[in-house]
């Protein structure tokens, strides 16, 4: 029952994507009819041509010549129709594929971060790349063969009934056996193809994870263990694929057997009519019927292949539409924009957890006035980065509120909130583009002088000028720049934006000590007059903060300046002494 409901929902999604291309689909149906008409006309005229050859010296050459011209015209019309139909089919299928991928990618950008955080990146990319490709292939095969197949079956039946309804009745009575066999097998292959698609996504995710972290794998000599894990996934993939392909491949032999029975029945019944009608049913007619019986049964083989491929396409489409139909972040359309913030930030009675069964933050209260530097320190897992996620509204609080300039962040647009923040993370990210494009991401209208000044302030200008094309060098790959250089570019990017509020999450973790001191000086100038939240493990970098929040297990356990907290001789003092014990 659930499978039928899923299939109906998937088919509804496919029809939704096909709707804009209805005119092309109508053209495809018309061209399929034209192609089939040309193909079906050929056996009829061949039969007439055979009847023109009565015996030695009794050949109607003039009639044969006219019939051959007609046959040539029919073949040309069928070929032209098939070519144009293929053009229409390709246009529909690849436009639908592009639309599906566009919507899936757009959906990813609008999904809440918890969806991305709870899934392997390779699994999500596998849906957009592999599953979408499989879906398109099944759709293309379906359009190409389904329309012509159905048209051929209908056309042949009509011609047979007109020529000799008794023989047509023989064909019509045996045909349901072929349909029953196809439906029986196809209904059982959907679940197998669905399982195959799921295991393929799991395997893709593992491969993506291993390639992305190959240095760690090699560093810990974990190659053999990974090979074992991959072998297990590969074996499951083999079994799923083998079962799906085996059961689906039985469709063709079964339908071919039924087709052979149809052919033999037509030959026997037709021969009886040739003998018993005294020439009313000629040898040419029998030849035509035998050709039609082949043409009639052939689409059943093709349709059985289409059904098999379409089951695979449906399974892939179900995964794509499941992604596209995922619930997005609550819309903020119609909400007011924040404007340029002064920088007064307040967290009141904030409660938050990533999972309902694992409490993380409760009763968190923080006040940061405009221009203050607020440092957040504490042991790993205490909730420092979570506070940053809540400030940026990557996640919404479960209780309490986060406000900027007295406005609850849930009642303003996300875009206007995030434009007021500049964020430098420990994890650096550069897009595959030139240094110039990466630096100007947040300030596309900046001048060349402003860009270079920001790069100099971040101490990135010197290494940029040493790159092959300077600021026009394409970066973004793993080996293009060191982690420290990437981080300097990220810092320069923020210095160019000059937002009213800053978030620095271990912003100098990948930079050497000498450069860090210079960058800290640049940060000091950048932070002047701006509200700043600084997450740091190296406590020496936050001595100048106006207030330091000491977190532990989701709570603020201490709060004050560096000197005051040391004098208190509590949790912070213990952390500080642990770092500078020597």
Query: Edge-to-edge, what's the strand order for the sheet holding 399-404?
Result: 361-368, 345-352, 399-404, 407-408
Q: What is the pLDDT of residue 76?
A: 92
Model confidence over 166-216: pLDDT tens digits?
Answer: 777 877 777 767 667 766 776 667 677 777 877 887 888 788 778 777 767
- Best CA proximity match to 14, nearest among 100, 127, 87, 90: 100
In degrees and rounded to multiples of 5, residue 211 shows phi and psi of -65, -40
| 3-state DSSP assignment of residue 418 | helix
SS3 percent helix, strand, coil of the chain, rounded to 5, is 65, 10, 25
Whether 254 and 297 have beta carbons less than 8 Å apart is answered as no
CA–CA dist 211, 223 (Å, integer): 12
Give 53's strand partners.
Answer: 59
Q: What is the CA radius of gyration of the chain?
A: 36
Gap between the Cα atoms of 66 and 310, Å rounded:
43
With a CB cutoff of 8 Å and minimum separation 6, the contacts of 484 are 510, 511, 512, 515
pTM: 0.67
b/e burial code for range 146-167 (CB count within 10 A of at least 16 → b): bbbbbbbbebbbebbeebbeeb
The 3-state DSSP class for residue 464 equals helix
Burial class (CB in 10 A: 0-12, 13-18, 19+), 435: buried
Q: In terms of Cα–Cα distance, which of 214, 191, 195, 215 is closest to 203?
A: 195
CA distance from start to end of the chain = 69
pLDDT by 10s per residue, the chain, length 582: 455 566 777 888 888 888 888 898 888 888 888 888 888 888 888 877 877 776 666 777 787 888 889 889 999 998 998 899 888 888 888 888 889 889 988 888 888 877 877 776 667 877 888 888 888 877 777 767 777 877 888 888 888 888 777 777 877 777 767 667 766 776 667 677 777 877 887 888 788 778 777 767 777 777 888 888 888 888 888 888 888 777 777 776 777 777 778 778 777 877 787 777 666 677 777 777 777 777 777 776 667 667 767 777 888 888 888 888 888 887 778 888 888 888 889 989 888 888 777 778 888 888 888 888 888 888 877 778 888 888 888 888 888 899 998 899 888 988 888 888 888 777 777 888 888 988 888 788 888 888 998 888 888 888 889 988 889 988 876 656 777 788 788 888 888 888 888 888 876 666 677 767 766 776 777 777 788 888 877 776 677 788 888 888 778 888 888 888 888 888 888 887 877 654
Phi, psi of 369 (to 5 degrees): -80, 160
Domains defined for the chain, CATH in brackets? 98-324 (1.20.1560.10), 345-579 (3.40.50.300)
Judged by DSSP in three states, 359 sits in: coil
- Mapping DSSP to helix (H, G, I), strand (E, B) and coil, where does residue 395 land? coil
CA torsion through residues 87, 93, 98, 99, sign: positive
């Amino acid at each position: 029952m659930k499978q039928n409901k899923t299939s109906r929902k998937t088919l509804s999604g496919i029809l939704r994507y096909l709707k804009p291309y209805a005119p092309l689909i109508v053209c495809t149906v018309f061209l399929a009819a034209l192609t089939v008409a040309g193909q079906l006309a050929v056996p009829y005229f061949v039969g007439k041509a055979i009847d023109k050859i009565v015996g030695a010296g009794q050949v109607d050459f003039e009639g044969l010549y006219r019939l051959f011209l007609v046959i040539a015209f029919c073949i040309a019309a069928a070929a032209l129709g098939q070519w144009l139909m293929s053009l229409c089919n390709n246009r529909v299928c690849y436009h639908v594929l592009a639309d599906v991928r566009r919507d899936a990618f757009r959906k990813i950008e609008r999904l809440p971060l918890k969806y991305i955080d709870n899934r392997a990146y390779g699994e999500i990319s596998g849906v957009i790349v592999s599953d979408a490709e499989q879906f398109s292939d099944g759709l293309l095969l379906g359009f190409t063969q389904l329309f012509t197949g159905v048209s051929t079956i209908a056309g042949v039946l009509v011609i047979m009934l007109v020529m000799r309804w008794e023989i047509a009745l023989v064909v019509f009575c045996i045909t349901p056996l072929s349909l029953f066999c196809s439906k029986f097998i196809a209904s059982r292959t959907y679940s197998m193809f669905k399982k195959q698609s799921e295991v393929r996504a799991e395997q893709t995710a593992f491969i993506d994870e291993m390639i992305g972290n190959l240095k760690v794998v090699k560093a810990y000599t974990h190659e053999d263990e990974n090979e074992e894990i991959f072998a297990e996934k590969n074996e499951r993939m083999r079994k799923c694929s083998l079962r799906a392909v085996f059961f689906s491949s039985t469709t063709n032999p079964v339908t071919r057997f039924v087709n052979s029975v149809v052919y033999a029945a037509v030959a026997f019944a037709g021969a009886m009519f040739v003998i018993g009608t005294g020439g009313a049913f000629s040898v040419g007619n029998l030849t035509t019927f035998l050709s039609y019986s082949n043409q009639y049964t052939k689409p059943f083989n093709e349709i059985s292949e289409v059904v098999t491929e379409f089951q695979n396409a449906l399974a892939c489409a179900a995964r794509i539409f499941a992604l596209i139909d995922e619930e997005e972040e609550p819309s903020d359309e119609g909400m007011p924009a924040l404007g340029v913030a002064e920088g007064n930030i307040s967290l009141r009675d904030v409660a938050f957890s990533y999972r309902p069964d694992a409490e993380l933050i409760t009763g968190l209260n923080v006040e940061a006035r405009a221009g203050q530097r607020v440092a957040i320190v504490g042991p790993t897992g205490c909730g420092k980065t979570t506070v940053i996620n809540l400030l940026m509204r990557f996640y919404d609080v479960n209780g309490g509120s986060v406000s900027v300039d007295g406005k609850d962040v849930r009642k303003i647009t996300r875009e206007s909130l995030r434009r007021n923040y500049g964020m430098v993370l420990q994890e650096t990210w550069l897009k595959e583009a030139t240094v110039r494009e990466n630096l100007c991401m947040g300030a596309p209208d900046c001048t060349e002088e402003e860009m270079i000044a920001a790069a100099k302030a971040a101490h990135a200008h010197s290494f940029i000028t040493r790159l092959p094309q300077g600021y026009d060098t394409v970066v973004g790959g793993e080996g293009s720049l060191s982690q420290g250089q990437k981080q300097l570019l990220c810092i320069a990017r923020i210095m160019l934006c000059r937002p009213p509020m800053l978030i620095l999450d271990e912003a100098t973790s990948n930079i050497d000590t000498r450069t860090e001191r210079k960058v800290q000086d640049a940060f000091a100038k950048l932070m002047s007059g701006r509200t700043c939240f600084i997450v740091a493990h190296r406590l020496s970098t936050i001595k100048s903060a106006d207030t330091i929040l000491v977190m532990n297990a989701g709570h603020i356990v201490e709060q004050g300046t560096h000197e005051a907290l040391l004098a208190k001789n509590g949790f912070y003092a213990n952390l500080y002494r642990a770092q500078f014990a020597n």
